[in-house]
Amino acid sequence: MERIETASPYERTIHYACVRFVRQVLWGDVAGTSDILQTITADLSKIAAHYAEYAIERRGDAGVIERAIAYMASIHDGPWRGKEWFDTTLAVLTELAIPNTGLENDGAAFLLDVRRGVSEAYEAAPLPKSELRITDDKAEGIKRFVAAAQEHGYVMDLLNIAERIFHGEHLSKGKRDLLHAAAVAAPMARLVRNDAPDDEHLDDN
């Protein structure tokens, strides 16, 4: 316990993420005493700390690794797969969340499959009721979208694309091309909008 008490905040965060992982995945599955589970927790914490340091360096947020460990606990099924599985899986998830490797076209194409799968999984996850509530501001935004789509076909096309992305559906090449064109147009549109300071718009963050 002394090591945890004197550890940095991110090390404590990662350690307790591993504690929760062990309690959810290994408790009752690995034969032995609590000392064995504590040893496994310590080993996993050392592995995770390495990725947390990388996350802080590249993203400034060790919470990425904490959330990855929680995700791993959710998907783990069956007997405990060992420290090697933990290390390898965390490495893959870290690379997806914080890319560090340049990709060729074939490798990059797989990311489209990952994005679709992530969208499908996120859509299936339970959401807080607060996120489902249609607030006055959200209703006003919907009203503006509908009005703009009635007047401009391109807005309707972008709404269709947004709907497919939200629901994790596949985008055709034509839709991806239109999405790319919209992304390129975005900074140009912001320059124009900056000339109208009284115009209300969503926070870029």
For the stretch 2-36, pLDDT in tens is 345 546 778 899 999 999 999 888 876 655 577 88
119, part of any domain: no
> Does 36 share its domain with 89?
yes
Q: How far is Cα 56 from Cα 189, in angstroms, rounded to an integer?
A: 33
21, part of any domain: yes
Domains identified in the chain, total number: 2
Residues 53, 103, 91, 65: is their CA dihedral positive or negative? positive
Alpha helices in the chain (DSSP H): 2-5, 9-25, 34-59, 63-75, 83-97, 105-124, 129-132, 136-151, 153-166, 173-193
pTM surpassing 0.85? no
Instruction: State the pLDDT at residue 90.
Output: 96
Which of these three, 48, 82, 101, is where a domain ends?
Answer: 101
203, part of any domain: no
114, part of any domain: no
pLDDT digits (tens, 9 = 90+) for 100-147: 877 777 778 888 788 878 877 777 777 666 666 788 888 899 899 999
113, part of any domain: no
Q: Domain containing 143: what range?
A: 130-193
Spatial CB neighbours of 96, under 8 Å, sequence gap ≥ 6 = 114
